[in-house]
């Protein structure tokens, strides 16, 4: 890329000069020149090179050693549109420098030492045509911005991020009335004087994130569209009560200390509202009337001492409430949320979540209720018809309407990890018998693709559990003792791609995995399998995890079935036999199959007390074993034969002696 730039520089250099034939030969510039843009970043410069083309548009002097910014140090390149001087050491700016730069629109002075300049109490004068100014990372204190902004009539975008400003005074922006966007992220703002932003009629975007603001009780910037107050110390956010139409569309209040649900403008365009990581205990907008005094009483509907106001969220699309302490959310809270697409209430304390009426949450696509204390999840019959993704992991669900998921006609993704559910058999009549505590049906959900059922203490995976539910992903891991019926995966033949049965204590698997023609990733690790299921044809599995099982021998038909598709195999921590798996080891060593855990793949060899790494197994090891054992057998046979002969001989002798004895007695 650099070479390309330099080549362009050579080709274009003369063209940008005035008269190529008469101009004196230039020294090669250390900068890269692309058309009318010059890049001199990171070259230890204290001033701009003089031998640059005339009429350049962009001049990037970032990461250099500039201290003084003057016409001279800029080598009189005062026609530029775009000037970047970030990460220099600028502590002095020539007064009126920018007024003379009639084309300059973008000026980046971030990461310099402009606090030193401000301490000298001199001003940079008129900012001229500059529309975008970046003063972030300059150690500027409250009041210092005056020396830069006093006369900046064209300024539209201003960044003051990462300075040390503690207060926004009434007149801070009085010299820059055209401002539309202000970023004050990462300062220490404690105080905003009344009216400080109200003078800015065009202001649409304000970033006050990562400051120390504790309270906003009279929000009145009706022209503002985007407001970020994330990472402050806010305990309350309340809008001045008014019938004015507010433009506010995005409000980020995450990571504060908010206790009561914010009071948003009565008439608003709010589409994005983030109140995650606060201290909400419910969705009431204030505490009781007593707690709050008679705070703007007329605007609330007072009911048995509680202060409530039905808020308008008819434009809301995204609502983030995760990481609070919410216990319940009344149905009526969602009344106006007809456009809501994403609702995230994960990591709260909700025990019951009920959606009864069909008018609510019609457009909801994603619902995250994970990591609550849900025991009761009730969705009315014709509700949540648009729901595509449902996160319910980390709850206490044991029973629910068995048809809960079958009645969501758009559901694609369902995470039920870490609950206590049972799976229904396909024929509902026998359900009661199998699961006295009820079950959930996963068959006949034609839209469902991803299903997570790990850590549910599942005992049985019944046959046909997923009939007519063309899953691509099925996670059944961490259900120790799970019994998998031979036809448990029937119906998934043409869809299933990923299957996990990890850590289930399974000792026998009677499922024909090769019948799942799309299967690519299979995890059978940490079980008690001593044999693999049999295969009726070639499988399509690409990654197979057999680690931590009781496998001694991998049968030949397994190898044949896997050989053509397998790319990755985990087989560590099994008591493999060295000599009965020679074919298999050969396959692993001479095919493209990757064994990522090869260091832990060992086998047992009779002569070795220690397990042998399979990379060290050779055919000879097993042959010599054969030979020695054969000679051992010969010796044993010979010894046995000898012993037999001796014993027979002795017996014969004894018999003879006895008969003689007997006959002698007879004769006696």
Ligand X SMILES: *[C@@H]1O[C@H](CO)[C@@H](O)[C@H](O)[C@H]1NC(C)=O
Which tokens belong to 106?
A: 């973008």
Query: Among 41, 154, 281, 534, which residue sits at the site for ligand X (rule: CB under 6 A)?
Result: 281
Tell me: does residue 151 bind ligand X (CB under 6 A). no
∠ Cα 311 314 320 (to 5°): 75
Query: Among 391, 452, 570, 584, which residue sits at the site for ligand X (rule: CB under 6 A)?
Result: 391
DSSP character at residue 634:
H
Tell me: does residue 333 bind ligand X (CB under 6 A). no
Residue 185 CB, nearest approach to ligand X (Å) = 5
Tell me: does residue 98 bind ligand X (CB under 6 A). no
Pairwise CA distance, residues 231 & 276, whole Å: 11
Which residue number is nearest to ligand X in terms of Cβ? 306
Tell me: does residue 331 bind ligand X (CB under 6 A). no
181-220 b/e (C-beta count within 10 Å ≥ 16 → b): bbbbbbbebbebeeebbeebeebbbbbbbbbebeebeebb
Residue 329 CB, nearest approach to ligand X (Å) = 10
Binding residues for ligand X, total number by CB under 6 A: 34
Residue 14 CB, nearest approach to ligand X (Å) = 31
Query: Among 178, 199, 240, 366, which residue sits at the site for ligand X (rule: CB under 6 A)?
Result: 366
Q: Where are the extended beta strands (E) located within 257-400?
A: 272-274, 301-303, 306-308, 318-320, 342-344, 352-355, 366-368, 376-379, 389-391
Taking the chain, what is the end-to-end CA distance rounded to the nearest angstrom? Answer: 124
Query: Among 77, 86, 126, 185, which residue sits at the site for ligand X (rule: CB under 6 A)?
Result: 185
Tell me: does residue 514 bind ligand X (CB under 6 A). no
Window 189-228: residues binding ligand X (CB under 6 A):
209-210, 228
Nearer to ligand X, 145 or 526 (CB): 145
Backbone φ and ψ for 440, nearest 5 degrees, come out as -120, 135
**β-strand partners of 66:** none
Which tokens belong to 406?
A: 């079958």
Residue 505 CB, nearest approach to ligand X (Å) = 31
Query: Among 14, 49, 175, 282, which residue sits at the site for ligand X (rule: CB under 6 A)?
Result: 282
Nearer to ligand X, 346 or 574 (CB): 346
Nearer to ligand X, 138 or 186 (CB): 186
Q: Which stretch binds ligand X (CB under 6 A): 121-129, 280-288, 408-416, 481-489?
A: 280-288
Question: Scanning the structure block, which residue is given the tokens 């003879």?
Answer: 656
Alpha helices of 257-299 — where are they, by DSSP H? 289-292
Tell me: does residue 468 bind ligand X (CB under 6 A). no
Query: Among 181, 360, 408, 502, which residue sits at the site for ligand X (rule: CB under 6 A)?
Result: 181
Nearest in space to 566 (alpha carbons), one of 600, 532, 599 = 532
For residue 590, the surrounding DSSP H or E stretch is helix 582-590
Tell me: does residue 376 bind ligand X (CB under 6 A). yes
Alpha-carbon separation of residue 169 from 67, 173, 220, 362 (angstroms): 30, 8, 17, 45
Query: Among 36, 178, 188, 354, which residue sits at the site for ligand X (rule: CB under 6 A)?
Result: 354
Per-position x/- string for 545-564, each x denoting binding to ligand X as judged by CB under 6 A, each - no binding: --------------------
Per DSSP, the chain holds a count of helices (H) and strands (E) of 8, 38
Q: Which residues contact 457 (CB under 8 A, 6 or more apart)?
A: 420, 479, 480
Window 447-466: residues binding ligand X (CB under 6 A):
none
Pairwise CA distance, residues 312 & 334, whole Å: 10
Tell me: does residue 318 bind ligand X (CB under 6 A). no
Tell me: does residue 233 bind ligand X (CB under 6 A). no
Residue 578 CB, nearest approach to ligand X (Å) = 47
Alpha-carbon separation of residue 265 from 153, 260, 435, 633 (angstroms): 31, 15, 50, 94
Tell me: does residue 378 bind ligand X (CB under 6 A). yes
Alpha helices of 324-456 — where are they, by DSSP H? 431-434
Tell me: does residue 523 bind ligand X (CB under 6 A). no
Tell me: does residue 306 bind ligand X (CB under 6 A). yes
Nearer to ligand X, 303 or 665 (CB): 303
Residue 308 CB, nearest approach to ligand X (Å) = 6
Residues that bind ligand X (CB under 6 A): 46, 67-68, 92, 131-132, 156-157, 181, 185, 209-210, 228, 230-231, 250, 252, 276, 281-282, 284, 303, 306, 308, 322, 344, 346, 352, 354, 366, 368, 376, 378, 391
């Amino acid at each position: 890329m650099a070479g390309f730039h330099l080549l362009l520089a050579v080709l274009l250099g003369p063209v940008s000069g005035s008269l190529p034939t008469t101009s004196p030969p230039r020294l090669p510039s250390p900068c890269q020149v692309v058309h009318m843009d010059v890049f001199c970043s990171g070259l230890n410069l204290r001033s701009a090179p003089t031998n640059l083309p005339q009429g350049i548009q962009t001049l990037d002097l970032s990461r250099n050693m500039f201290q003084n910014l003057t016409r001279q140090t800029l080598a009189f390149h005062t026609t530029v549109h775009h000037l970047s001087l970030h990460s220099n050491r600028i502590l002095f700016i020539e007064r009126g420098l920018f007024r003379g730069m009639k084309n300059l629109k973008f000026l980046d002075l971030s990461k310099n030492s402009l606090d030193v300049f401000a301490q000298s109490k001199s001003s940079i004068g008129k900012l001229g045509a500059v529309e975008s100014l970046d003063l972030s990372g300059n150690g500027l204190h409250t009041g210092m911005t005056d020396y830069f902004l006093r006369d900046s009539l064209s300024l539209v975008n201003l960044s003051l991020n990462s300075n040390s400003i503690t207060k926004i005074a009434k007149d801070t922006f009085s010299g820059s009335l055209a401002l539309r966007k202000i970023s004050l992220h990462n300062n220490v703002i404690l105080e905003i004087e009344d009216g400080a932003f109200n003078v800015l009629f065009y202001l649409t975007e304000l970033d006050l994130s990562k400051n120390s603001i504790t309270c906003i009780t009279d929000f009145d910037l009706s022209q503002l569209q985007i407001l970020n107050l994330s990472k402050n110390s806010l305990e309350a956010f309340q809008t001045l009560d008014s019938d004015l139409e507010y433009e506010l569309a995005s409000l980020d209040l995450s990571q504060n200390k908010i206790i009561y649900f914010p009071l948003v403008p009565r008439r608003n365009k709010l589409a994005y509202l983030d109140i995650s990581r606060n201290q909400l205990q419910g969705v009431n907008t204030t505490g009781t009337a007593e707690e709050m005094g008679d705070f703007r009483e007329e605007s609330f509907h007072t009911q048995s001492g509680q202060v409530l106001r039905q808020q308008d969220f008819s434009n809301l699309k995204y609502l983030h409430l995760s990481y609070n302490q919410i216990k319940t959310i009344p149905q009526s809270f969602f009344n106006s949320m007809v456009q809501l697409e994403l609702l995230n209430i994960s990591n709260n304390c909700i025990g019951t979540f009920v959606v009864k009426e069909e008018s609510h949450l019609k457009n909801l696509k994603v619902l995250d209720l994970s990591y609550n204390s849900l025991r009761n999840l009730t969705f009315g019959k014709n509700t949540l018809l648009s729901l595509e993704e449902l996160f319910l992991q980390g709850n206490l669900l044991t029973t629910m309407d068995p048809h809960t998921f079958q009645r969501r006609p758009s559901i694609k993704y369902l995470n039920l990890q870490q609950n206590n559910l049972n799976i229904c058999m396909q024929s509902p009549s026998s359900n009661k018998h199998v699961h006295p505590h009820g079950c959930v049906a996963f068959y006949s959900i034609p839209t469902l693709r991803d299903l997570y059922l790990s850590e549910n203490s599942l005992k049985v995976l019944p046959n046909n559990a997923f009939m007519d539910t063309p899953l691509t992903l099925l996670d059944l891991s961490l259900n120790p003792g799970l019994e998998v019926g031979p036809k448990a995966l029937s119906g998934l033949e043409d869809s299933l791609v990923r299957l996990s049965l990890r850590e289930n204590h399974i000792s026998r698997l009677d499922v024909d995995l090769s019948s799942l023609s799309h299967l690519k990733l299979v995890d059978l690790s940490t079980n008690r399998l001593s044999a693999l299921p049999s295969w009726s044809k070639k499988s399509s599995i690409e990654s197979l995890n057999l680690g931590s099982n009781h496998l001694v021998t991998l049968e030949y038909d397994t190898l044949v079935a896997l050989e053509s598709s397998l790319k990755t195999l985990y087989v560590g921590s099994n008591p493999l036999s060295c000599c009965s798996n020679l074919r298999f080891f050969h396959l692993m060593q001479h095919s493209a199959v990757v064994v990522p855990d090869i260091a832990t793949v060992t086998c047992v060899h009779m002569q070795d007390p220690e397990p042998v790494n399979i990379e060290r197994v050779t055919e000879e090891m097993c042959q010599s074993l054969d030979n020695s054992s054969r000679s051992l057998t010969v010796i044993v046979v010979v010894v046995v034969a000898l012993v037999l002969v001796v014993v027979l001989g002795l017996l014969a002798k004894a018999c003879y002696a006895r008969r003689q004895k007997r006959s002698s007695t007879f004769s006696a």
